[in-house]
């Protein structure tokens, strides 16, 4: 009998110990779970998606680059990584400007662009020589400049952003599309501006339809153009479709055959994109690219309309850091003076 009682006692003791062990484990798991949760909440940067934004820093226009970056950074909580693309000679200046201003808090990488990749691919155009600057073509080479990202935003330097860049980044690209652009006929509010300054917003304004190579494309000259100053790009599709190679092919053909119209004088960089992306691009929300602010020194949009806009683009000859220009106050809100004093605004009273 005694041995039997001892076995029962032992079994009972083991049962009690097992229950205690289970209870102990459950009680001590709670603080651990809370601790993990707290860590996750305190460091969202570790899991937050990075938004790469590409903008160039050209000599004589670095104030534009700084204002663009300043406007983006000030209007978002997103984890933005700026890729600032420049030539070897301009990189030290822009780096010093950022590091010695309130922009020193931004995340950025400076990328050097080698203009030799353009050798033999650009036909000289005396009417708008500034459009032939090497950095005007960095949008053609996004996968070579940006290695690790699936989705990339490219912005011209003569823009400011008034909305949250996260919204632009969230632009949906249809399957098979390597990029999204703003259609030049997408916003009725801009039509009056286009007519008043005599702009073209169709392929006729960019391509020379007297040339057989252009007619062979089968694109109607009345097709609405798009503006490649704001791009949301899918790098996987871009590489898969060999977009850069296609663009280079049309640059080369223009050198040989002079295929682009000089009506706008801006066809050198825009025209190849109009050809390569014809019928194969997604749409950016029209309010994320209000353009033509630089086409006239006195034709203005309504202030209410511009306040609603998410992104303003001074494409054209009349830039907001120069004089004359329109809506310069909206641009100057985001300008940060050059600590070195090299870049100065051109103003009638200064």
Set out the domains of the chain in order of their start, with CATH numbers.
51-185+225-252+279-333 (3.90.550.10)
pLDDT for res 35: 31
SS3 assignment, position 261: coil
pLDDT for res 261: 74
pLDDT for res 265: 46
Which burial class, exposed, middle or buried, applies to 275 when counting CB atoms under 10 A from its CB (0-12, 13-18, 19+)? buried
pLDDT for res 5: 53
Q: Which of 19-28, 30-39, 77-86, 303-312 has the lowest mean pLDDT?
A: 30-39
Mean pLDDT estimate for the chain: 86
Q: Would you place residue 58 in the very low, low, confident or very high pLDDT band (cuts 50, 70, 90)? A: very high
CA neighbor of 261 nearest in space, from 275, 247, 282: 275
Give, in degrees to the nearest 5, the angle at Cα 43 between 40 and 47: 75
Q: Is the pLDDT of residue 343 over 50?
A: yes
Q: Would you place residue 205 in the very low, low, confident or very high pLDDT band (cuts 50, 70, 90)? A: confident
Angstrom distance (rounded) from CA 324 to CA 72: 25
72 or 9: which leads in pLDDT: 72
Number of CB atoms found within 10 A of residue 85's CB: 27
Q: What is the DSSP code string of 174-225?
A: PTT--EEEEETTS-GGGHHHHHHTT---BGGGTB-TTSHHHHTTT--TTSB-
Q: Is the pLDDT of residue 38 over 60?
A: no
What's the whole-model pTM score?
0.84
Q: Is the pLDDT of residue 4 over 70?
A: no
Sheet arrangement for strand 179-183: 107-112, 79-86, 50-57, 151-155, 226-234, 179-183, 282-283
Q: Which of 23-27, 45-49, 119-123, 140-144 has the highest mean pLDDT?
A: 140-144
pLDDT for res 178: 98
348 or 42: which leads in pLDDT: 348
């Amino acid at each position: 009998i005694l041995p039997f009682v001892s076995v029962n006692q032992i079994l009972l003791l083991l049962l009690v110990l097992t229950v205690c062990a289970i209870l102990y484990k459950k009680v001590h798991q709670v603080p651990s779970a809370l601790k993990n949760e707290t860590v996750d909440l305190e460091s969202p940067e570790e899991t937050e998606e990075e938004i790469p934004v590409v903008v160039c820093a050209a000599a004589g226009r670095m104030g534009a680059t700084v204002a663009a970056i300043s406007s983006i950074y000030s209007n978002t909580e997103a984890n933005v990584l700026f890729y600032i693309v420049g030539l070897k000679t301009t990189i030290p200046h822009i780096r010093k400007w950022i590091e010695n201003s309130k922009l020193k808090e931004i995340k950025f990488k400076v990328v050097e662009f080698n203009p030799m990749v353009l050798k033999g691919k650009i036909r000289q155009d005396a009417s708008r020589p500034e459009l032939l600057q090497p950095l005007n073509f960095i949008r053609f080479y996004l996968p070579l400049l940006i290695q690790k990202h699936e989705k990339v935003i490219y912005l011209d330097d003569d823009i400011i952003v008034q909305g949250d860049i996260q919204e632009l980044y969230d632009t949906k690209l249809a399957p098979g599309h390597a990029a999204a652009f703003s259609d030049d006929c997408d916003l009725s509010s801009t039509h009056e501006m286009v007519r008043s300054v005599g702009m073209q917003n169709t392929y006729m304004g960019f391509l020379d339809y007297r040339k057989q190579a252009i007619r062979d494309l089968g694109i109607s000259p009345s097709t609405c153009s798009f503006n490649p100053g704001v791009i949301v790009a899918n790098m996987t599709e871009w590489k898969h479709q060999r977009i850069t190679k296609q663009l280079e092919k049309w640059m080369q053909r223009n050198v040989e055959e002079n295929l682009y119209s000089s009506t706008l004088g801006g066809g050198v960089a825009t025209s190849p994109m109009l050809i390569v992306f014809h019928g194969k691009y997604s749409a950016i929300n029209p309010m994320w690219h209000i353009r033509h602010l630089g086409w006239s020194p006195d034709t203005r949009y309504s202030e209410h309309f511009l306040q609603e806009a998410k992104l303003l683009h001074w494409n054209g000859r009349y830039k907001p850091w120069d004089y004359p220009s329109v809506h310069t106050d909206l641009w100057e809100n985001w300008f940060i003076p050059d600590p070195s004093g090299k870049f100065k605004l051109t103003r009638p009273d200064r």
